[in-house]
Amino acid sequence: MLHIDRLTKRYGPVVAADEVSLRVRPGSMVGFVGPNGAGKSTTMRSIFGLVVPDSGTITWRGEPVDRDHRTRFGYMPEQRGLYPKMPIADQVAYFAELQRVERSLATSRAEELLTSLGLGERLTEPLEKLSHGNQQRVQLAVSLANDPELLVLDEPFSGLDPVAVDTLQAVLTARVADGAGVLFSSHQLDLVERLCDEIVVIAGGRVRAAGTVGDVRSAAGVRHVRVRVDQPRIPLDEALAGLSVGRIDGDEATVVVAGDREVADVLDRARRAGTVVRLDFDLPSLTERFAAIVTDDAAGPLPGGDRPGGATVGATGESGDR
Amino acid sequence: MSTSRIVWLVMRRELRARLFSRAFVIGLAVIVVLISAVSFLSAALGDDEPIRLGLAGEQPSGAVATLEALAEAVDTEVEISDLTGLGEAERLVADGELDAAVVDGELLMERTSNQIVALVGPAWQQAGLIDGLTGAGLDADGVQAVLGAAAPIDVVELDPDPDADAREAVAFASVILMFIAIQVAGSYIMLGIFEEKTTKVVELVLASVPARYLLAGKILGIAVIGLIQVAVLVVTALVASAATGSSALPALSPSLLGTAVVWFLIGYLLYGAVFAAGASLAPRQEDAQSTLAPISMILLISYIAVLGTSGDPTGWPARVVSWVPLTSPFAMPGRIAANAAPWWEVVGSMAVGIVAVIGVLLATERIYVRSVIHTDRKLGWREAWSLPS
């Protein structure tokens, strides 16, 4: 298991990661979501020693991660890039060899992987001769070349066409079924919701929510209560005044409440208007939760440091994402 | 994984990527062609051809022997052919088949050559004198003994080194070749590092390989390529000078070739390391120009300084530039070729060069390791130096 514990990294006044903690268990897929500049890349790069944290620990099976461990990890950086003039099979084999895979195995695995990704006919072609989509496949093959026990993919779905998205999903699901742990970041919440056993929501360098998708949706205690009153004696908006009423549609109203107890309050008030014929409550969707978290973040001050003025946020945004 | 294996993997990739690249092969072919062309051209223009002399009619006895003795004394060859008469002599000299002909005591030439007059004149004079004296009843052996003791005169060159010209040429050529080799290898290092930064592949490499091993593998791999280049240059030069019968061969001593390899490595590591550090600062082509221009300028100025002093390899400017590490890799091989460097200067300047290389490599490692991962912006030298590693 990979365990990141209270990882903190500052770049001058910007706190890129603020006590970030997360775990990736073998055979599980963890989605890492958050707006740009939230600290996802900083966290992922620190797993590979590309960022040296100011504090916090990263352990693999209880030991601090070192170079030996990393040879069993696969990585796809956010900034894609390979050697443009190197034949793709050589390229995949080279990275496998750098990860201690023995030469003949590296060569045969490179060919296998590329063939399985539909590039079997082009093994000796230099990368630059391939289309953008095929270059992405080579990048994926490189991350898988050492048959990793842990896969760390930074925005692997970005820029992929729908077919490629399906391929990548299938590859990741297969790896997880084989017992690998997968950590990937994404903006595509539907994908994350569908694929991931667990998600970690990060904003402003800080983990705002973590756990299963259900955990995250329920974590804030927010419920969407829908109540229907049979022929209300007083208008529902009047009866429910003071609560955060979302939508009123004749005899039906949706109210956002902060916790289970407030559901009773909604019920009491609705009864004043008439006979309650229907009451159901639901968790907010992941997208709604995500939006709420990010909005909170934008509204409140950043923990651990002052965000520079509005004009400079854009300029520092890039390094904030490192 | 052992350090050496990682460094070897990086090296091997570097070797493969360069050796089989079209640019490398073409570049090498161009250099080979250039060197061959220059050698053949200079051989064709050179005037150490033998003097072709035709003889017809009566010649004083012993004239030819005296001529050959004279020619040998001034290190010139004479080819002698017998002609049927004046007609043939005139025709062959006019056609350029012969440089000169002697017919019945007359020396025929297309245009007067002082060299030929200086050789043929005294030889015939002396032989005619012997003939005349013996004809007057003197003992031929006695006359020969008296005259032979006086002539031909021994020629003593004030420069005791018979290969001086060749050595000077080799010295000059070695400055140029060393500059080419170091510049080419240095730019390979620069481009290699640069390619990794601009394509961002460095992020992936550094995820499994420490930066200093990547740097070491790259520098070593390109050193091998550079040595291959130097070897090709030297072999081409040797073959070309052997084929053209150039007298430069004796100057290409094994000690010169051996020290040239050491000097190439010193120069390559010195400049290559600085190029490496510079390239690691810049994420884009535009940024690279401003960082690397001063380095290229230093390389060029060093080269020009050495060329300017190479005419007088024992003078103090030549001695200074052969001790300064930035110029010594160009200057010292030339002085060694010109036989103008005492051994202690060779060893001493080499030691200074090696110390400089170690210092520069350590500084480069510091800068490279800190800056190469920053693919998002250009760094300054000072900033890179003080970044946390």
Burial B212-227 (b: 16+ CB within 10 A, else e): ebbbbbbbbbbbbbbb
Which pLDDT score is estimated for B242?
A: 72
| Number of CB pairs, chain A paired with chain B, less than 8 A apart | 67
A89 lies within 8 A of chain B by CB:
no
Give the single-character DSSP code of B251: G
Q: Which residues in chain B have Cβ-Cβ distances shorter than 8 Å to A95?
A: 204-205, 208
CB within 8 Å of A141: residues ≥ 6 apart: A88, A92, A110, A113, A114, A117, A119
3-state percent helix, strand, coil for chain A, nearest multiple of 5: 40, 30, 30
A140 lies within 8 A of chain B by CB:
no
CATH top-level class of A223-282? alpha beta
Which pLDDT score is estimated for B380?
A: 83
Q: Is the dihedral of CA B377, B380, B381, B386 positive or negative?
A: negative
Which is higher by pLDDT, B322 or A243? B322
Domain assignments of chain A as residue spans, ordered by start: 2-217, 223-282
What CA–CA distance (Å, rounded) separates A226 from A267?
10
Q: Over the stretch B179-219, which tens digit does the pLDDT of each residue have?
A: 888 888 888 888 888 889 888 899 999 998 999 999 999 99
What CA–CA distance (Å, rounded) separates B78 from A7?
89
**pLDDT exceeds 90 at position B23:** no
A318 lies within 8 A of chain B by CB:
yes
Residue B267 contacts residue B302 (beta carbons within 8 Å): no
Which pLDDT score is estimated for B148?
A: 59
Q: Which residues in chain B have Cβ-Cβ distances shorter than 8 Å to A99?
A: 208
Q: Which residue of B has its CA nearest to A76?
A: B204
Among B198, B204, B387, which would you mutate to test the A interface (most chain A Cβ atoms within 10 Å of its Cβ)?
B204
β-bridge mates for residue B56, sequence order? B103
Which pLDDT score is estimated for A269?
A: 85
Q: Is B203 within 8 Å of A142 when comparing Cβ atoms?
A: no
Q: Is A98 within 8 Å of B208 when comparing Cβ atoms?
A: yes
> What confidence category does residue B372 fall into, taking pLDDT thresholds of 50, 70 and 90?
confident
Kindly report the average pLDDT of chain B as a whole number: 81
What CA–CA distance (Å, rounded) separates A242 from A250?
19
CATH topology classification for A2-217: Rossmann fold (3.40.50)
Q: Is B206 within 8 Å of A84 when comparing Cβ atoms?
A: no
Q: Is B13 within 8 Å of A81 when comparing Cβ atoms?
A: no
Which pLDDT score is estimated for A320?
A: 38
Q: Which residues in chain A have Cβ-Cβ distances shorter than 8 Å to B204?
A: 75, 77, 81-82, 95, 142
3 state SS of A10: strand
Q: Is the dihedral of CA B338, B339, B340, B343 positive or negative?
A: positive
Q: Which residue of A has its CA nearest to B9?
A: A98
Could you say which residues of chain A have pLDDT below 70? Answer: 260, 296-322
Which pLDDT score is estimated for A310?
A: 32
**pLDDT exceeds 70 at position B164:** no
Q: Is A84 within 8 Å of B21 when comparing Cβ atoms?
A: no
What CA–CA distance (Å, rounded) separates A104 from A97?
9
**pLDDT exceeds 80 at position B326:** yes
Which pLDDT score is estimated for B334?
A: 82
What CA–CA distance (Å, rounded) separates B80 from B51?
8
What CA–CA distance (Å, rounded) separates B212 from A315?
31
User: Could you give the ipTM of this predicted complex?
Assistant: 0.79
What CA–CA distance (Å, rounded) separates B98 from B88?
11
Q: Residue B375: CA atoms inside 13 Å, Cβ hemisphere, count?
A: 21
Dihedral over alpha carbons B162, B165, B167, B168 (to 10 degrees): 150
Domain assignments of chain B as residue spans, ordered by start: 3-44+163-386, 51-150
Partner residue opposite A83 with nearest CB, options B9, B201, B388: B201
Where are the alpha helices (H) located in A59-131, listed in sequence order? 67-70, 88-98, 103-116
Q: What is the pairing mode between strands A55-60 and A2-11?
A: antiparallel
B378 lies within 8 A of chain A by CB:
no
The continuous run of DSSP H or E covering B91 comes out as helix B86-95
Could you identify the residue written with the tokens 């590979």? A48
Burial B61-79 (b: 16+ CB within 10 A, else e): ebbbebbbebbeeeebebe
What CA–CA distance (Å, rounded) separates A161 from A171?
15
What CA–CA distance (Å, rounded) separates A30 from A23?
8
Q: Which CATH architecture has domain B51-150?
A: 3-Layer(aba) Sandwich (3.40)
Which pLDDT score is estimated for A251?
A: 84
Structure token digits, residue B90: 């005139």
Among A46, A67, A78, A83, which would you mutate to test the B interface (most chain B Cβ atoms within 10 Å of its Cβ)?
A83
Structure token digits, residue B104: 């019945």
Which is higher by pLDDT, B145 or B87? B87
Put simply, the chain A residues between 169 and 188 with a CB less than 8 A from any chain B CB are none
Residue A17 contacts residue A205 (beta carbons within 8 Å): yes
Considering chain B, what percentage of its residues have pLDDT values greater than 70?
86
Which is higher by pLDDT, B257 or B224? B224
3 state SS of B116: helix
What CA–CA distance (Å, rounded) separates B187 from B300?
13
**pLDDT exceeds 70 at position B160:** no
Q: How far is CA A321 from the centre of its chain?
A: 14
Give the single-character DSSP code of B248: T
Residue A156 contacts residue A184 (beta carbons within 8 Å): yes
What CA–CA distance (Å, rounded) separates B14 from B9?
9
**pLDDT exceeds 50 at position B95:** yes
Q: Which residues in chain A have Cβ-Cβ distances shorter than 8 Å to B203?
A: 45, 50, 77, 79, 81
Q: Over the stretch B290-317, which tens digit does the pLDDT of each residue have?
A: 888 888 889 899 988 888 887 777 888 8
What CA–CA distance (Å, rounded) separates A113 from A122?
12
Which pLDDT score is estimated for B162?
A: 55
> What confidence category does residue B86 fall into, taking pLDDT thresholds of 50, 70 and 90?
confident
